[in-house]
Amino acid sequence: MPLPSGFDEAALRQLSTGLNAQQLVWLSGYFYGQAAVAAAAGVQPETAVQAPAQLAEKLTILYGSHTGNGKKVAQQAAAAAKQRGLTAEVRDMNDYPTRQLAQEQNLLLIVSTHGEGEPPVAAEELHRFVLGTRAPRLPQLRFSVLALGDRSYLHFCQTGLDFDQRLGELGGQRLLDRVDCDVDYHADADAWIAAVLDKIAVSAPATTSATVGASTSTSAPALNAAITRTNPWPARVLESIQLNGRGSTKETYHIELDLAGSGLQYAPGDALAVLPVNEDGLVEEVLRAARLSDTAPVQLGNESRPLAAVLAGRRELTVLTRDVLERYAALAPHAELHSLLADTALLQPYIYGRDVADLLTDFPTDQLTAQVLAETLRPLPSRAYSIASSLLVHPDEVHLTVGAVRYNAHGRRKHGVCSSYLADQVSVGDTARVFVETNEYFKLPANPATDIIMVGAGTGVAPFRAFVEERVELGATGRNWLLFGNPHFTTDFLYQAEWQQHLKRGGLAKLDVAFSRDQAAKIYVQDRLLESSRDVFGWLENGAQFYVCGDKNRLGGAVQAALTEVVRREAGVSADEAASYVRDLKKQRRYLEDVY
């Protein structure tokens, strides 16, 4: 092809000599961009440089995560994008400037839902911006949402739904329909990544640069490490000790498991996931209510197993969720069941405290077969427990603090599937199938000189046992303050001897306890925070990190309200300013929660 007039071919050859293929592509893209500028300035088309390649379209991968699963998926998506020759930048929503949204071209958004339909802390600001009146029109945006959630919650994947709907309303075009993932998200996430990147790659220039954004680790591990839910470690039970004294209304176990040979690593703040087995009694109740034989065959993938074995180890029986009721309603045409599904205000009270045996008894049907029942029920998910040990102090071991859940509801004795499994079905010498779940957002400070305030009630004290063990072992100079609550001093002071030793030797700088039932007026950990408001605020102003672990409904909100009052009182500011101070602590990741 002849060069346009005014070009010096020798100069061009000299310029390009010694450049590799990637550098030549970049150079052609640069000239293409200069041509676009020249055209916009009114330069005649025949004088503009024609380039055979286009600049790569930008791909941004945003994640908003509570435990770190979203980050893992985002990193896997970035690695897969690189393999397809796409440029990808991974950003944490917590650090993402909202004004940049208007400049995005291709956006993959991975977000979890926290509690009953709330965004995780990292996603709060972007969620508020996108749903607010300041959100820009996004006609140039192509996007897809992967929502992480748990079907046992009524507002399953609500945050992902919010983002997906709103981005569409703002003019964005979906690359792929939203995918909602249950707790066992890996297969769905893998499929979504492959499908959405294939869609982007089809429309992207063939010469797109194969680099990943600086914020992405190209060596990030794949979602499926050696030990996972599909390949758990059979951990031998080394110890199982009930921590509560005689007469306690609680039943809490300290369980030690053997990890020798597994290669599993964990850090304080991480969780151990356990794959439970349903109790024989509940399996029998479900079989009776379904009027099915325990030996009836069920096909699961390429294997055939008897129904009783499928119900015991493969299907959720202790919890009812909307999707199970919806599938069952197609088999059982009961008007009341359809009314429940049509009204959330009626559905929530029904499913609370009921299990699969209740559902089958309340709404019997003759349409059930063993195969249909197995396909109607939800796969049995793992349960995660905050790790209560430091690997530095207990090599090849992991410790858990497990509260056995037992209660009466709707005329029957009920139990938590995994807590009762660990309490009743496995003994010392038995094995439990486990794997580690990393919690990126509940970690010790990077600086060992940073002070920490730990607030936990009941089994919420578990990660703080790991925190203090680790800090003592490492010789961290930051002060440790524990505020712990439970009903009674004499029966429910979990790890009492250990805390007193830490206090005596300096591992704990302060220890405050709240035993709510030991006096006429109930006292809780939030009351202790208010009593020590000057010290609490002083520690925070000195850079301390604040941790909360325990029941979300009974502890999480009450502690946040108490801390807001501490700030209002000690800083002499308005309630709104105090609330803003606490929000900033969360934004800075100095107020960290592990609530459930």
pLDDT value at position 344? 86
CATH number at residue 197: 3.40.50.360
**pLDDT tens across 285-343, in order?**
999 999 999 999 999 999 999 999 999 999 999 999 999 999 999 998 899 999 999 99
pLDDT value at position 15? 53
138 pLDDT higher than 90:
yes
Looking only at the bridges linking them, the beta strands covering 303-306 and 297-300 are antiparallel
Domain membership of residue 68 (yes or no) is: yes
415 pLDDT higher than 80:
yes
What is the C-alpha separation between 499 and 388, in angstroms, rounded? 13
Q: Looking at per-residue confidence, does 247 or 68 come out higher?
A: 247
Nearest-CA neighbor of 373 among 463, 259, 296? 296
What is the C-alpha separation between 37 and 53, in angstroms, rounded? 16
495 pLDDT higher than 50:
yes
Q: Which of 203, 222, 244 is the last residue of a domain?
A: 203
pLDDT value at position 51? 36
Q: Are residue 93 and residue 158 in the same domain, yes or no?
A: yes
pLDDT value at position 390? 98
pLDDT value at position 68? 84
Domain membership of residue 52 (yes or no) is: no
Range in 110-124, 324-338, 341-355, 356-370 with the lowest mean pLDDT? 110-124
| Mean pLDDT for the stretch of residues 39-64 | 54
**pLDDT tens across 164-222, in order?**
999 999 999 999 999 999 988 989 999 999 999 999 988 765 434 433 333 333 333 33
Q: Are residue 550 and residue 513 in the same domain, yes or no?
A: yes
pLDDT band at 226 (very low <50, low <70, confident <90, very high): confident
Helices in 343-461 by DSSP H: which ranges? 344-351, 356-362, 370-376, 417-420
pLDDT value at position 35? 44
What is the C-alpha separation between 280 and 190, in angstroms, rounded? 35
Is the Cα torsion angle 489, 493, 499, 501 positive or negative in sign?
A: positive
Q: State which H helix or E strand residue 456 sits in.
A: strand 452-457
| CB neighbour list of residue 100: distance below 8 Å, 6 or more residues apart | none
pLDDT band at 129 (very low <50, low <70, confident <90, very high): very high
- Cβ 235 vs Cβ 432: under 8 Å: yes
CATH number at residue 395: 2.40.30.10
Q: Are residue 321 and residue 351 in the same domain, yes or no?
A: yes
Domain membership of residue 155 (yes or no) is: yes
- Cβ 63 vs Cβ 111: under 8 Å: yes
Which residue range(s) make up the domain with 327? 286-376
Mean pLDDT, the chain, integer: 88
> Within 10 A of 313 (CB to CB), how many other CB atoms are there?
15
Range in 136-145, 210-219, 408-417 with the lowest mean pLDDT? 210-219
DSSP 296-333: -EEEETTEEEEHHHHHHHTB--S---HHHHHHHHTTS-
Q: Are residue 65 and residue 131 in the same domain, yes or no?
A: yes
| CB neighbour list of residue 388: distance below 8 Å, 6 or more residues apart | 254, 399, 400, 401, 461, 462, 463, 465, 466
Q: State which H helix or E strand residue 386 sits in.
A: strand 383-386
Nearest-CA neighbor of 278 among 416, 401, 409, 371? 416
Q: Are residue 189 and residue 42 in the same domain, yes or no?
A: no
What is the C-alpha separation between 214 and 218, in angstroms, rounded? 9
pLDDT value at position 16? 55
Q: Are residue 37 and residue 72 in the same domain, yes or no?
A: no
26 pLDDT higher than 60:
no
| CB neighbour list of residue 14: distance below 8 Å, 6 or more residues apart | none
- Cβ 252 vs Cβ 460: under 8 Å: no
What is the C-alpha separation between 426 and 254, in angstroms, rounded? 13
Domain membership of residue 226 (yes or no) is: no
Domain membership of residue 211 (yes or no) is: no
Q: Looking at per-residue confidence, does 39 or 512 come out higher?
A: 512
Q: Are residue 315 and residue 392 in the same domain, yes or no?
A: no
What is the C-alpha separation between 477 and 507, in angstroms, rounded? 10
Domain membership of residue 447 (yes or no) is: no
What is the C-alpha separation between 344 and 322, in angstroms, rounded? 10
Is the Cα torsion angle 179, 182, 185, 191 positive or negative in sign?
A: negative
Residue with tokens 């709510």: 516
Q: Provide the number of structural domains found in the chain.
A: 5
Give me the percent of the chain exceeding a pLDDT of 90. 77
Distances (CA, A) of 14 to 22, 30, 101, 241, 361: 17, 17, 41, 78, 84
In this structure, the chain runs to a length of 596
Looking only at the bridges linking them, the beta strands covering 452-457 and 545-550 are parallel
570 pLDDT higher than 70:
yes
Is the Cα torsion angle 189, 190, 191, 195 positive or negative in sign?
A: positive
| CB neighbour list of residue 225: distance below 8 Å, 6 or more residues apart | none
pLDDT value at position 216? 37
| CB neighbour list of residue 421: distance below 8 Å, 6 or more residues apart | 274, 276, 277, 278, 279, 432
pLDDT value at position 596? 84
- Cβ 483 vs Cβ 528: under 8 Å: yes
Domain membership of residue 572 (yes or no) is: yes
Q: What angle do CA 351, 353, 356 make, to 5 degrees?
A: 65
DSSP 63-96: EE-SSSHHHHHHHHHHHHHHHTT--EEEEEGGG-
CATH number at residue 349: 1.20.990.10
> What's the 3-state SS for 113-138?
CECCCECCHHHHHHHHHHHCCCCCCC
Which structure tokens are listed for 392? 């530095």
What is the C-alpha separation between 58 and 408, in angstroms, rounded? 56
Domain membership of residue 53 (yes or no) is: no
Q: Are residue 34 and residue 164 in the same domain, yes or no?
A: no
**pLDDT tens across 436-452, in order?**
999 988 999 999 999 99
pLDDT value at position 18? 54
What is the C-alpha separation between 7 and 48, in angstroms, rounded? 11
Distances (CA, A) of 546 to 464, 539, 543, 592: 12, 9, 10, 6
Q: Are residue 256 and residue 368 in the same domain, yes or no?
A: no
Which structure tokens are listed for 587? 């934004």
Compute, in degrees rounded to 10, the torsion defined by CA atoms 172, 173, 176, 180.
30
Give me the percent of the chain exceeding a pLDDT of 70. 87
pLDDT value at position 154? 79
> Within 10 A of 578 (CB to CB), how many other CB atoms are there?
20
| CB neighbour list of residue 65: distance below 8 Å, 6 or more residues apart | 71, 92, 110, 111, 112, 120, 122, 148, 440, 441
Q: Are residue 515 and residue 583 in the same domain, yes or no?
A: yes
Collapse the DSSP code of 209 into the 3-class scheme (helix H, G, I; strand E, B; otherwise coil) and give the result.
coil
pLDDT value at position 49? 36
pLDDT value at position 8? 53
Q: Are residue 125 and residue 263 in the same domain, yes or no?
A: no
9 pLDDT higher than 90:
no
Residue 105 is given by DSSP the state: S
| CB neighbour list of residue 317: distance below 8 Å, 6 or more residues apart | 278, 282, 283, 286, 311, 355, 356, 357, 377, 380, 417
Q: Are residue 185 and residue 257 in the same domain, yes or no?
A: no
| Mean pLDDT for the stretch of residues 563-572 | 98
CATH number at residue 574: 3.40.50.80
